[in-house]
Amino acid sequence: MTISKTDGPRQLAWLTRLKRSVLLSSFGASPAAMLSAALITLFLLNAIFAPFLVPQDPSDLRSLNLTDSLKPPAWMADGVWGYPLGTDGQGRDILSAVMYGARTSLGFGLAALALASLLGIPIGLIAGYTGGFLDSVLMRVADTQLTFPPILIALLLDGIGRAVLSRSMQQSLQPLWVVLAIGVSLWPQFARLVRASTLVERGKDYILAARLVGVSRSRILALHILPNIGSPILVFAAINLSFAIVAEATLSFLGVGLPPTEPSLGTLIMTGNDFLLSGEWWMSLFPGLALMSLVMAINCLADSFQDRLHISPG
């Protein structure tokens, strides 16, 4: 008897599995899910092609024209079509800023998510598979951290970064530190989910069969368990992507996230916020709308996957 003949799903046909999986088949399901998928595609395309598409490069100071500062959106009385969504206090085009900002937000969200899964998934797999003392220690740590809302953890880590690093180092490392803070704040959720699914999977016959024929532990974890708990993890990752994006935006909005030299949507909203009360609403509203539609689209899509898979978060 060989492994491939055991009851368990095959190890290598990952792609075929994915193609046939509920995830993709649920696309046609609801108009909301389709709309969300379209929006997300739009954001992804924007992330790749923004530098070629923007009307004005916000980082290129020569293109700025101070006489064009604080223009309202084009459809309003003072607006011009050269700046469809208006300009900020230095004459920067809001549309361009939003396009670059969305790209930054998505990128940082993905990076933080990657870090969280890189930490959480292996820890969850090992804890779930080995059990015993290691498991209880790891889960105790996760539980203690889970007592706190992730955003507080991220803020705290951010603050620690400011205290530990010298000012110049802190400024140059800030983008990395933001990824670190958000990634670390999210790992326990991943670890818990992966551990729970691993526990279920570990008891199944095909894992037993693999163990009986002497497949190594790391191989079992990586090639047998991980692919079989893949779907819920993907959905969970999607939900947490929106969380990571919001977390980054929140940090930036609070002025402790990305520096104004590398503005994300959150940074744009923060700078725009100062102009809100004097009536220049477009500077914060448009980045805000972009952020909300990105996050809504991700949540909505994740929701419809989740309905299909019948899993609950956490």
Name which of 229 and 269 has its Cβ closer to another protein: 269
User: Under the criterion CB under 8 A, does residue 106 sit at the interface with another protein?
Assistant: no
**Cβ density class 146-159: b for 16+ within 10 Å, e for less:** beeebbebbbebbe
Among 159, 172, 205, 260, binds another protein (CB under 8 A): 159
- How far is it, in rounded angstroms, from Cα 243 to Cα 108? 12
Name which of residues 241 to 280 contact another protein (CB under 8 A).
Answer: 242, 246, 249-250, 253-256, 266, 269, 273, 276-277, 279
Total residues at interface with another protein (CB under 8 A): 40
Name which of 9 and 313 has its Cβ closer to another protein: 313
| Strand partners of residue 87 | 93
Site string for another protein, 44-83 (x = CB under 8 A): ----------------------------------------
User: Under the criterion CB under 8 A, does residue 311 sit at the interface with another protein?
Assistant: no
**3 state DSSP class of 87:** strand
Contacts of 121 (CB under 8 A, 6+ apart): 190, 191, 194, 226, 233
The CA R_g of the chain, rounded to the nearest whole Å, is 23
Name which of 54 and 265 has its Cβ closer to another protein: 265
User: Under the criterion CB under 8 A, does residue 148 sit at the interface with another protein?
Assistant: yes
CB of 284 to another protein, least distance (A): 6
Name which of 213 and 289 has its Cβ closer to another protein: 289
| Residue 152 tokens, joined | 């507080």
- How far is it, in rounded angstroms, from Cα 304 to Cα 307? 5
Q: How many helices (H) and strands (E) are present in the chain, helices listed first?
A: 13, 0
Name which of 2 and 147 has its Cβ closer to another protein: 147
User: Under the criterion CB under 8 A, does residue 292 sit at the interface with another protein?
Assistant: yes
CB of 34 to another protein, least distance (A): 16
CB of 254 to another protein, least distance (A): 5
| Residue 51 tokens, joined | 């530098």
User: Under the criterion CB under 8 A, does residue 300 sit at the interface with another protein?
Assistant: yes
- How far is it, in rounded angstroms, from Cα 285 to Cα 180? 28
| Residue 242 tokens, joined | 């929106």
Name which of 117 and 242 has its Cβ closer to another protein: 242
Sign of the alpha-carbon torsion through 2, 5, 7, 13:
positive
User: Under the criterion CB under 8 A, does residue 184 sit at the interface with another protein?
Assistant: no
Whether 225 contacts 201, CB under 8 Å: yes
User: Under the criterion CB under 8 A, does residue 163 sit at the interface with another protein?
Assistant: yes
Amino acid found at 212: L
- How far is it, in rounded angstroms, from Cα 312 to Cα 257? 31
Name which of residues 218 to 237 contact another protein (CB under 8 A).
Answer: none
Among 125, 233, 295, 301, binds another protein (CB under 8 A): 295
Burial of residue 52 (number of CB atoms within 10 Å: 0-12, 13-18, 19+) = exposed
CB of 297 to another protein, least distance (A): 9
- E strands, the chain, in order: none
Name which of 55 and 255 has its Cβ closer to another protein: 255
User: Which residues are at the interface with another protein (CB under 8 A)?
Assistant: 143-144, 147-149, 151-152, 155-156, 158-160, 162-164, 242, 246, 249-250, 253-256, 266, 269, 273, 276-277, 279, 281, 284-285, 288, 291-292, 295-296, 299-300, 303
